[in-house]
Amino acid sequence: MNIRRITMALVAATALCATAIPVSADSASASVDYSLGPKATVQSLYPDASWLPAQYAAAYPDLATTIENYTLQSLTRDGVKDATVKVTFVPGAGGDQVQLSIRPANAVTRQYAKLHPAFLDAAHAQAALRAATACQASSSPACWAPPPLTEKEKTQPWAFYLPFGMPMATQKTVLFLDYPPSSALLARDYLKNFTMCRWGRVLGAAGAANPYAYETIVDSRPIAAPGSGEDARLPVPQTWFNSDQGAVYLTPMLQLLTASSSSTTRPIAIFGGTPRQTWAAMVGAGSVKVLDVGTTQLGGQTKKTSWIATNHPDVTTYNCCPGDPSQSCIDKRTNTPSDQLIADEQKDFVAACWMQTMAGAKPPSAAVAKQRCQTAWVKSPNAANKQTLCVQAKLDNQNPDARSKSYEEAWNYCAAHQANACATFDNSYDPAQVKPELPPVARRPSGWEETCSTH
């Protein structure tokens, strides 16, 4: 990786943004107006019927509507209430230019005039497109959807898909994940899938009042693909999306989205095997294991970035309680029991706790934050945390007979079984033993009202 090239590209991008930001003053009627650049370039970056596979094209018939939709999602998740977004195409040198007008004008929306064009510039989104294009052109060996196609790939073909629609001004952490499921592309919402729904519930259960603030994503492979079974077929991230063989994208995009006005950057959480391997290559580590933590000067930048590595957000949903005889609890790849439900839930809550601790006003070191979170969720959890872990485990259990269908059912089971999610291999409990009682909706963690999709 050419660190000097990354740094110079980021400096150039920042300078470009700083010279082209016409912004109105704050008032009820004022707007923030800025350009995203040539329509042809922007159209190649946003999902659009002009280039998407036929299976997705109907969801994206109009570029202006698509940009408005994803920008409004970002603004809403950044906490901007009653936001409006208007996209127009204005004639200019080299063809139509994409112009945005956002209301209201305030401290957050003013940042969009800087961040939104930077997100799409040559050092960031355009670099991802160059990498994807290089992968598509490679034939020795084939890089893009290598033959033979799987049955899922025939109905859910790969498609270039950037992380649009998430906070990009007020986010507290950045998540480094693997790839977006094609269901999110069809839903026109990067976070509308089981993986992120489930992780949002964990964040809320671990104390986040607004889980969206912790869900800004950079995927190691910005390719929408079927939600399972694709990991080994997708291109190697560091080779194609962070080197000159494809383009240098991952490091600059992580730098952009973790940038902060404090003395350190926003922290990063790394989820799953492929992202952990990629991160190890990016920071020069031999390997990165689950719940490893550290700090790095990402891409040679001056500020330090704290990070934690953890499981893929879906790992617990493939696990059962120890000793569960259900056939659904057998790992079909290894023909061994998948019985680490409780241990993996604890790791998830340590990671979610760490993210919130490190996003605080005066965070400790990455190692101290991990130690505190392990005490709170593994070594010496209080009664409330034990109940929370149990409720989440009952909602995640791979055995359908033991999996609770709602927050209410999970709470009552755990309250009747002294917060032991593995007291039985079903959902039976004595209503007379439900202590503490089910809390009212207003006192439940953020995200619990989400049912998420089935496993």
Same domain membership, residue 306 and residue 397: no
Domain boundary among 268, 289, 310: 310
Q: Is residue 13 part of a domain?
A: yes
CA 396 from centroid of its chain's CA atoms: 19
Residue 254's closest CA among 310, 301, 200, 317? 301
- Considering its fold, how many domains does the chain have in total? 2
Specify whether 305 is located in the same domain as 319: no
Residues 93 and 213 in one domain: yes
Instruction: Give Cα separations from 427 to 214, 314, 387, 413, 414 (angstroms).
Output: 32, 21, 15, 7, 10
Do you find a cis peptide bond into 147, omega within 30 degrees of 0? no
- Residue carrying structure tokens 């809320």: 204
Q: How confident is the prediction along the chain (455 residues), in pLDDT tens digits per residue?
A: 343 333 334 333 433 333 333 433 455 569 999 999 999 999 999 999 999 999 999 999 999 999 999 999 999 999 999 999 999 999 998 899 999 999 999 999 999 999 999 999 999 999 999 999 999 999 988 999 999 999 999 999 999 999 999 999 999 999 999 999 999 999 999 999 999 999 999 999 999 999 999 999 999 999 999 988 899 999 999 999 999 999 999 999 999 999 999 999 999 999 999 999 999 999 999 999 999 999 999 999 999 999 999 999 999 999 999 999 999 999 888 899 999 999 999 999 999 999 999 999 999 999 999 999 999 999 999 999 999 999 999 999 999 999 999 999 999 999 999 999 999 999 999 999 999 999 998 888 887 777 776 55
* Residue 144 within a domain: no
| Residue 266 and residue 296 in one domain | yes
- Is residue 448 domain-resident? no
On whether residue 292 sits in a domain, the answer given is yes
Regarding whether 419 and 303 lie in a shared domain, the answer is: no
**182 and 244 belong to one structural domain:** yes
Residue where one domain finishes, among candidates 261, 283, 310: 310
Do 195 and 70 share a structural domain? yes
Residue 4 to residues 7, 232, 253, 314, 440, Cα–Cα distance (Å): 5, 31, 15, 37, 55
Decide if 167 contacts 215 (C-beta within 8 A): yes
Question: Is 42 a domain residue?
Answer: yes
Direct distance between the N- and C-terminal alpha carbons of the chain, in angstroms, rounded to an integer: 39
Q: pLDDT at position 455, please? A: 55
pLDDT, position 449: 74
How many angstroms separate the CA atoms of 353 and 373, rounded? 6
In a domain, 242, yes or no: yes
Residues 333 and 192 in one domain: no
Q: Is 398 in contact with 322 (CB distance < 8 Å)?
A: no
Q: Is 288 part of any domain?
A: yes
143 with 241: CB under 8 angstroms?
Answer: no
Whether residues 367 and 383 fall in one domain: yes
Distance CA 168, CA 72 (A): 12
Structural domain of 374: 315-443
Is residue 455, in this structure, part of any structural domain at all? no
Please enumerate in sequence order all residues whose Cβ is within 8 A of that of 226, keeping only pairs 6 or more positions apart, or say none: 150, 152, 153, 156, 181, 182
What's CA 282's distance to the chain center, in Å? 19
Nearest to 121 by CA among 238, 51, 4, 41: 41
pTM of the model: 0.92
Going across the sheet that includes 32-38, the strands are: 32-38, 97-103, 84-90
Question: Both 89 and 227 in a single domain?
Answer: yes
Same domain as 258, residue 215: yes
Q: 104: cis peptide before it, omega within 30°?
A: yes
Residues 289, 383, single domain; the answer is no
End residue of a domain, out of 282, 310, 338: 310
